[in-house]
Amino acid sequence: MSTALLTDLTIFILALLVGIEVIGKVPATLHTPLMSATNAIHGIVLVGAMLIGVSSHTVVGYILGFVAAVFAGANVVGGYVVTGRMLKMFRREAGPTATGRPEAESLHGHKGLRGLLSRAGKA
C-alpha cells in the first residue's frame, strides 16, 4: 500500500468522522436545506471533471468530458442557488404579531451582532 493511498484513506476516514460530528448537530428544521447544501458540495466533482476531462484527445473522451461537465455544472450552480433560496425563507418573525416572544429570543443564544443588526433593520 503506497503512502499516497494511505494518506487518502486517512483523510477520508477523518472527514467521515468530522461529517458525522458536524452534521449530527443540524436541527431537523434545516434538514432539507442541509441536504441541498450537501448536494451542492458534491458538485466539487466538477473539479474532477476538469482535471481528468481535458487530458483526453479522442472523440469519446471529449463526449464523456462534456457530459461530465454538464452534470457537474448543473449540480454546483443549482445546488447553491436553491439552498440560498430556501434559507432566505427561514425567518425569525412573520410580522409585528410575533415580536417579543421570549422563546424566540432564547432559542438561539449566539445570534451575535449580525443577528441583532438584521433584527434592528426589520423593526
Partner 1 sequence: MSGFTGYIQLVYVLTAALFVVGLHLMNSPVTARRGNQVALTGMVIAVIATFILLIHDGTVTATGWAVLICGALIGSGVGLYAARTVKMTAMPQLVSAFNSVGGGAAALVALYGYINSESHAGGVLGTTTVFTVLDVLIGSVTFSGSIVAAGKLQGFIPSQPLVFRGGRAINFALAIIAIGTGAFLFGTASLPAMLILVLAALAFGVMMVLPIGGADMPVVISLLNAFTGTAVAMAGFVIGNWALIVAGALVGASGSILTKLMADAMNRSLANIIVGGFGTGDAAVAIGGPVDAHVRSIAADDAAIQLAYASKVIIVPGYGLAAAQAQHGVAELAKTLEDHGVEVSYAIHPVAGRMPGHMNVLLAEANVPYPQLKEMDEINPEFARTDVALVIGANDVTNPAARRPGNEISGMPILDVDQARSVIVVKRSMGHGYAGLDNELYYDAKTSMYFADARKAMTDLTAAVKTLVG
Q: Which of 27, 113, 120, 123 binds partner 1 (CB under 8 A)?
A: 27
Cα–Cα distance, 87 to 31 (Å, whole number): 11
* Residue 10 Cβ vs partner 1, minimum distance, rounded to whole Å: 10
Alpha-carbon span 80 to 85, nearest angstrom: 9
**Binding track, positions 79-118, relative to partner 1; x by CB under 8 A:** xxxxxxxxxxxxxxxxx-xx--x-xx--xx-xxx-xx---
User: Largest Cα–Cα distance of the chain, in whole Å?
Assistant: 66
Of the chain, the end-to-end C-alpha distance in Å amounts to 62
Residues 36-65, one symbol each (x = binds partner 1 by CB under 8 A, - = not), give xxxxxxxxxxxxxxxxxxxxxxx-xxx-xx
- Which residue, 110 or 120, has its beta carbon nearer to partner 1? 110
Residue 32 binds partner 1, judged by CB under 8 A: yes
* 6 contacts partner 1 (rule: CB under 8 A): no
How is residue 4 written as a grid cell? 499516497
Binder of partner 1 out of 1, 6, 22, 120 (CB under 8 A): 22
Nearest 5°: phi and psi at 18?
Answer: -60, -45
